[in-house]
Protein backbone atom coordinates (compact mmCIF):
# COMPACT_ATOMS: atom_id res chain seq x y z
CA UNK A 1 0.00 0.00 0.00
CA UNK A 2 1.26 3.38 -0.91
CA UNK A 3 0.96 6.98 0.14
CA UNK A 4 -2.11 7.58 -1.98
CA UNK A 5 -3.99 4.52 -0.77
CA UNK A 6 -6.80 5.42 1.54
CA UNK A 7 -8.83 3.23 3.87
CA UNK A 8 -11.98 4.62 5.48
CA UNK A 9 -13.53 3.25 8.61
CA UNK A 10 -17.19 4.00 9.05
CA UNK A 11 -19.16 3.07 12.15
CA UNK A 12 -22.33 4.08 13.95
CA UNK A 13 -20.36 3.41 17.15
CA UNK A 14 -16.65 4.02 17.78
CA UNK A 15 -15.17 1.96 14.93
CA UNK A 16 -12.72 -0.07 17.05
CA UNK A 17 -13.72 -3.45 15.63
CA UNK A 18 -13.46 -2.32 12.02
CA UNK A 19 -10.09 -0.73 12.74
CA UNK A 20 -8.81 -3.99 14.28
CA UNK A 21 -9.76 -5.87 11.09
CA UNK A 22 -8.30 -3.19 8.81
CA UNK A 23 -5.00 -3.13 10.68
CA UNK A 24 -4.73 -6.93 10.70
CA UNK A 25 -5.45 -7.04 6.94
CA UNK A 26 -2.98 -4.21 6.21
CA UNK A 27 -0.27 -6.22 7.94
CA UNK A 28 -0.57 -8.77 5.17
CA UNK A 29 0.57 -6.25 2.59
CA UNK A 30 3.89 -4.57 1.94
CA UNK A 31 4.95 -1.82 4.32
CA UNK A 32 2.21 0.69 4.20
CA UNK A 33 2.17 4.41 4.36
CA UNK A 34 -1.49 4.31 3.39
CA UNK A 35 -3.84 6.67 5.12
CA UNK A 36 -6.46 5.49 7.54
CA UNK A 37 -9.40 7.73 8.29
CA UNK A 38 -11.95 6.81 10.93
CA UNK A 39 -15.50 8.15 10.99
CA UNK A 40 -17.39 7.17 14.13
CA UNK A 41 -20.82 7.91 15.57
CA UNK A 42 -22.44 8.09 12.16
CA UNK A 43 -26.08 9.01 12.64
CA UNK A 44 -27.50 10.06 9.28
CA UNK A 45 -27.69 8.54 5.85
CA UNK A 46 -26.16 11.62 4.26
CA UNK A 47 -23.02 11.15 6.36
CA UNK A 48 -22.69 7.65 4.89
CA UNK A 49 -23.17 9.02 1.43
CA UNK A 50 -20.51 11.72 1.99
CA UNK A 51 -17.96 9.13 3.15
CA UNK A 52 -18.60 6.94 0.10
CA UNK A 53 -18.22 10.05 -2.07
CA UNK A 54 -14.87 10.87 -0.44
CA UNK A 55 -13.69 7.25 -0.86
CA UNK A 56 -14.73 7.27 -4.52
CA UNK A 57 -12.76 10.46 -5.19
CA UNK A 58 -9.49 8.99 -3.89
CA UNK A 59 -10.09 5.40 -5.01
CA UNK A 60 -10.19 4.22 -1.41
CA UNK A 61 -11.60 1.20 0.37
CA UNK A 62 -14.23 1.32 3.12
CA UNK A 63 -14.55 -0.97 6.16
CA UNK A 64 -17.81 -0.50 8.00
CA UNK A 65 -19.67 -1.61 11.10
CA UNK A 66 -23.12 -0.11 10.76
CA UNK A 67 -25.73 -1.99 12.76
CA UNK A 68 -28.67 0.32 12.07
CA UNK A 69 -30.55 -1.05 9.03
CA UNK A 70 -31.03 2.31 7.23
CA UNK A 71 -27.35 3.23 7.51
CA UNK A 72 -26.28 -0.29 6.54
CA UNK A 73 -28.57 -0.25 3.53
CA UNK A 74 -27.38 3.20 2.49
CA UNK A 75 -23.74 2.06 2.60
CA UNK A 76 -24.45 -0.94 0.38
CA UNK A 77 -26.39 1.10 -2.15
CA UNK A 78 -24.02 4.04 -2.31
CA UNK A 79 -20.88 1.89 -2.50
CA UNK A 80 -22.40 -0.09 -5.35
CA UNK A 81 -23.56 3.05 -7.14
CA UNK A 82 -20.18 4.77 -6.86
CA UNK A 83 -18.10 1.65 -7.47
CA UNK A 84 -16.34 1.72 -4.09
CA UNK A 85 -15.32 -1.49 -2.38
CA UNK A 86 -16.97 -1.48 1.03
CA UNK A 87 -16.44 -4.37 3.43
CA UNK A 88 -19.13 -5.19 6.00
CA UNK A 89 -17.05 -6.22 9.02
CA UNK A 90 -19.81 -7.26 11.42
CA UNK A 91 -22.68 -8.23 9.12
CA UNK A 92 -21.60 -11.74 8.08
CA UNK A 93 -20.83 -12.69 11.70
CA UNK A 94 -24.21 -11.41 12.87
CA UNK A 95 -25.94 -13.21 10.02
CA UNK A 96 -24.22 -16.47 10.99
CA UNK A 97 -25.57 -16.07 14.53
CA UNK A 98 -29.07 -15.32 13.21
CA UNK A 99 -29.03 -18.35 10.91
CA UNK A 100 -27.49 -20.79 13.37
CA UNK A 101 -28.96 -19.72 16.69
CA UNK A 102 -32.29 -18.46 15.41
CA UNK A 103 -31.90 -15.24 17.38
CA UNK A 104 -32.59 -11.61 16.42
CA UNK A 105 -29.97 -8.89 16.72
CA UNK A 106 -30.72 -5.65 18.56
CA UNK A 107 -29.22 -3.48 15.82
CA UNK A 108 -28.30 -0.78 18.34
CA UNK A 109 -25.00 1.04 17.89
CA UNK A 110 -22.43 1.34 20.70
CA UNK A 111 -23.28 -1.92 22.47
CA UNK A 112 -19.61 -2.81 22.27
CA UNK A 113 -18.90 0.20 24.49
CA UNK A 114 -21.74 -0.46 26.91
CA UNK A 115 -20.86 0.74 30.39
CA UNK A 116 -21.84 -2.59 31.91
CA UNK A 117 -20.40 -4.88 34.55
CA UNK A 118 -17.85 -6.32 32.13
CA UNK A 119 -16.68 -2.85 31.15
CA UNK A 120 -16.21 -1.78 34.76
CA UNK A 121 -14.43 -5.02 35.57
CA UNK A 122 -11.94 -4.22 32.81
CA UNK A 123 -11.41 -0.65 34.02
CA UNK A 124 -11.01 -1.83 37.60
CA UNK A 125 -8.54 -4.50 36.48
CA UNK A 126 -6.49 -1.82 34.71
CA UNK A 127 -6.34 0.33 37.80
CA UNK A 128 -5.39 -2.76 39.77
CA UNK A 129 -2.54 -3.57 37.38
CA UNK A 130 -1.19 -0.02 37.57
CA UNK A 131 -1.55 0.28 41.32
CA UNK A 132 0.10 -3.03 42.22
CA UNK A 133 2.71 -3.10 39.47
CA UNK A 134 6.22 -4.30 40.21
CA UNK A 135 5.47 -5.52 43.74
CA UNK A 136 5.03 -1.94 44.94
CA UNK A 137 2.30 -3.02 47.32
CA UNK A 138 2.54 -6.66 48.31
CA UNK A 139 -1.13 -6.84 49.26
CA UNK A 140 -1.62 -7.18 45.50
CA UNK A 141 -0.09 -10.65 45.72
CA UNK A 142 -3.08 -11.79 47.77
CA UNK A 143 -5.75 -9.96 45.78
CA UNK A 144 -4.73 -10.74 42.20
CA UNK A 145 -6.26 -13.44 40.00
CA UNK A 146 -2.81 -14.06 38.59
CA UNK A 147 0.68 -13.15 39.77
CA UNK A 148 3.49 -13.05 37.24
CA UNK A 149 7.01 -13.54 38.52
CA UNK A 150 10.26 -13.16 36.65
CA UNK A 151 13.50 -11.22 36.38
CA UNK A 152 13.63 -7.64 35.07
CA UNK A 153 12.59 -7.18 31.39
CA UNK A 154 10.55 -10.33 30.96
CA UNK A 155 7.49 -8.21 29.95
CA UNK A 156 5.68 -8.54 33.29
CA UNK A 157 4.08 -5.07 33.22
CA UNK A 158 2.63 -5.11 29.69
CA UNK A 159 1.36 -8.65 30.30
CA UNK A 160 -0.54 -7.43 33.37
CA UNK A 161 -2.04 -4.58 31.33
CA UNK A 162 -3.15 -6.95 28.55
CA UNK A 163 -4.62 -9.33 31.11
CA UNK A 164 -6.53 -6.40 32.60
CA UNK A 165 -8.05 -5.85 29.15
CA UNK A 166 -9.44 -9.35 29.46
CA UNK A 167 -10.95 -8.45 32.85
CA UNK A 168 -8.27 -10.33 34.81
CA UNK A 169 -6.71 -8.72 37.88
CA UNK A 170 -3.02 -9.32 37.41
CA UNK A 171 0.01 -8.20 39.30
CA UNK A 172 3.70 -8.94 39.07
CA UNK A 173 6.70 -9.39 41.26
CA UNK A 174 10.26 -8.91 40.06
CA UNK A 175 12.65 -11.65 41.14
CA UNK A 176 16.03 -10.33 42.25
CA UNK A 177 18.60 -12.56 44.00
CA UNK A 178 19.24 -9.87 46.63
CA UNK A 179 15.57 -9.51 47.54
CA UNK A 180 13.62 -11.88 49.74
CA UNK A 181 10.49 -13.27 48.11
CA UNK A 182 7.55 -12.06 50.24
CA UNK A 183 5.66 -14.65 52.25
CA UNK A 184 2.47 -13.36 50.65
CA UNK A 185 3.48 -15.07 47.40
CA UNK A 186 4.10 -18.42 49.07
CA UNK A 187 0.86 -18.13 51.04
CA UNK A 188 -1.37 -17.71 47.99
CA UNK A 189 -3.98 -20.42 48.24
CA UNK A 190 -6.08 -19.67 45.17
CA UNK A 191 -5.48 -18.09 41.81
CA UNK A 192 -2.62 -18.57 39.46
CA UNK A 193 1.13 -17.91 39.69
CA UNK A 194 3.01 -17.89 36.41
CA UNK A 195 6.78 -17.72 36.01
CA UNK A 196 8.26 -15.92 33.02
CA UNK A 197 11.62 -16.82 31.62
CA UNK A 198 13.66 -15.83 28.60
CA UNK A 199 16.70 -16.88 26.63
CA UNK A 200 19.74 -15.19 28.29
CA UNK A 201 21.11 -13.82 24.99
CA UNK A 202 17.78 -12.24 24.15
CA UNK A 203 17.50 -10.79 27.64
CA UNK A 204 21.03 -9.42 27.34
CA UNK A 205 20.17 -7.59 24.14
CA UNK A 206 16.90 -6.24 25.60
CA UNK A 207 18.64 -4.97 28.71
CA UNK A 208 21.45 -3.38 26.69
CA UNK A 209 18.89 -1.56 24.55
CA UNK A 210 17.13 -0.50 27.71
CA UNK A 211 20.30 1.09 29.08
CA UNK A 212 20.79 2.80 25.74
CA UNK A 213 17.27 4.17 25.73
CA UNK A 214 17.76 5.49 29.25
CA UNK A 215 21.01 7.15 28.23
CA UNK A 216 23.00 5.00 30.67
CA UNK A 217 26.47 3.63 29.90
CA UNK A 218 26.78 0.00 28.81
CA UNK A 219 28.86 -2.48 30.76
CA UNK A 220 26.83 -2.39 33.96
CA UNK A 221 26.13 -5.65 35.78
CA UNK A 222 22.43 -5.32 34.87
CA UNK A 223 23.26 -6.02 31.25
CA UNK A 224 26.04 -8.57 31.72
CA UNK A 225 25.73 -12.17 30.68
CA UNK A 226 27.02 -13.40 34.03
CA UNK A 227 24.52 -11.41 36.07
CA UNK A 228 21.63 -12.41 33.80
CA UNK A 229 22.48 -16.08 34.16
CA UNK A 230 22.69 -15.69 37.93
CA UNK A 231 19.27 -13.97 38.02
CA UNK A 232 17.65 -16.54 35.75
CA UNK A 233 19.02 -19.40 37.88
CA UNK A 234 17.67 -17.75 41.02
CA UNK A 235 14.28 -17.15 39.41
CA UNK A 236 14.13 -20.69 38.13
CA UNK A 237 14.80 -21.96 41.66
CA UNK A 238 11.93 -19.90 43.08
CA UNK A 239 9.56 -21.05 40.34
CA UNK A 240 10.52 -24.64 41.00
CA UNK A 241 9.96 -24.18 44.74
CA UNK A 242 6.50 -22.70 44.12
CA UNK A 243 5.75 -25.33 41.52
CA UNK A 244 4.22 -22.82 39.15
CA UNK A 245 4.02 -23.06 35.39
CA UNK A 246 6.87 -21.35 33.55
CA UNK A 247 6.39 -19.67 30.18
CA UNK A 248 9.37 -18.91 27.97
CA UNK A 249 8.52 -15.50 26.49
CA UNK A 250 11.51 -15.32 24.12
CA UNK A 251 10.14 -14.12 20.75
CA UNK A 252 6.56 -14.39 21.99
CA UNK A 253 4.24 -11.45 21.43
CA UNK A 254 2.35 -10.30 24.52
CA UNK A 255 -0.94 -11.48 22.99
CA UNK A 256 0.44 -14.99 22.63
CA UNK A 257 1.58 -15.22 26.24
CA UNK A 258 -1.76 -13.79 27.40
CA UNK A 259 -3.50 -16.51 25.40
CA UNK A 260 -1.48 -19.19 27.20
CA UNK A 261 -2.15 -17.66 30.64
CA UNK A 262 -5.89 -17.36 29.99
CA UNK A 263 -6.04 -20.98 28.87
CA UNK A 264 -4.86 -21.96 32.35
CA UNK A 265 -7.86 -20.44 34.10
CA UNK A 266 -10.58 -22.84 35.13
CA UNK A 267 -13.22 -23.24 32.47
CA UNK A 268 -15.87 -21.73 34.72
CA UNK A 269 -13.99 -18.47 34.99
CA UNK A 270 -13.33 -18.46 31.26
CA UNK A 271 -17.08 -18.79 30.62
CA UNK A 272 -17.85 -15.90 32.91
CA UNK A 273 -15.35 -13.74 31.06
CA UNK A 274 -16.98 -14.49 27.76
CA UNK A 275 -20.51 -13.52 28.69
Residues from 168 through 207 that contact its own copies (CB under 8 A): none
Using the minimum distance from each CB to its own copies, give the nearer residue, 92 or 217.
92
Residue in 36, 56, 142, 211 binding its own copies, rule: CB under 8 A: 36
Residue in 44, 57, 85, 139 binding its own copies, rule: CB under 8 A: 85
Which residues 226-265 are close enough to bind its own copies by CB under 8 A?
Answer: 251, 253-256, 259
Cβ proximity of 152 and 204 under 8 Å: no
Using the minimum distance from each CB to its own copies, give the nearer residue, 104 or 190.
104
- Kindly provide the b/e burial profile for residues 13-37, where b requires at least 16 CB atoms within 10 angstroms of the residue's own CB: bbbebbbeebeeebeeeeeeebebe
Tell me the closest approach of the beta carbon of residue 240 to its own copies, in angstroms. 27
Beta strands 192-197; 245-248: pairing state: parallel
Tell me the closest approach of the beta carbon of residue 85 to its own copies, in angstroms. 4
Collapsed DSSP state (helix, strand, coil) of residue 148: strand
Does the footprint of its own copies cover residue 56 (CB under 8 A)?
no
Using the minimum distance from each CB to its own copies, give the nearer residue, 266 or 274.
274
Does the footprint of its own copies cover residue 89 (CB under 8 A)?
yes
Burial tier of 69 (Cβ tally within 10 Å: 0-12, 13-18, 19+): exposed
Candidate ranges 29-37, 42-50, 139-147, 231-239; the one touching its own copies (CB under 8 A): 29-37
The count of residues in the chain is: 275
Which residues 1-20 are close enough to bind its own copies by CB under 8 A?
Answer: 1-2, 5, 14-17, 20
| 275 among annotated binding-site residues | no
**Which stretches of 49-160 are assigned E, i.e. beta strand?**
61-65, 86-88, 146-150
| 122 among annotated binding-site residues | no
| 250 among annotated binding-site residues | no
CA angle 271, 165, 267 (to 5 degrees): 20
Which residues 137-166 are close enough to bind its own copies by CB under 8 A?
Answer: 155, 157-158, 161, 164
Residues 6+ apart with CB under 8 A from 49: 74, 78
Does the footprint of its own copies cover residue 115 (CB under 8 A)?
yes
Using the minimum distance from each CB to its own copies, give the nearer residue, 52 or 90.
90
| 190 among annotated binding-site residues | no
Candidate ranges 28-36, 43-51, 137-145, 223-231; the one touching its own copies (CB under 8 A): 28-36
Does the footprint of its own copies cover residue 87 (CB under 8 A)?
yes
Collapsed DSSP state (helix, strand, coil) of residue 60: coil
Does the footprint of its own copies cover residue 22 (CB under 8 A)?
yes
- Of the chain, the end-to-end C-alpha distance in Å amounts to 38
As a whole number of angstroms, the distance between CA 242 and CA 236 comes to: 10
Does the footprint of its own copies cover residue 25 (CB under 8 A)?
yes
| 152 among annotated binding-site residues | yes
As a whole number of angstroms, the distance between CA 74 and CA 82 comes to: 12
Which residue positions form the known binding site for ADP? 150-157
Amino acid sequence: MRENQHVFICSDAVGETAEAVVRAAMRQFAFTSGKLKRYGHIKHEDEVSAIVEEAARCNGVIAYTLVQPELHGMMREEALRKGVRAVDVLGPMMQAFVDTFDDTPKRLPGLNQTLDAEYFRKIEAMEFAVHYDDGKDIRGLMLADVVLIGVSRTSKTPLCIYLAHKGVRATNLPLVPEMRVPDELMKRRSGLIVGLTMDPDKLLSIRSERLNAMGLPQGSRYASRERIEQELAFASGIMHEIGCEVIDVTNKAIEETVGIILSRFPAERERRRVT
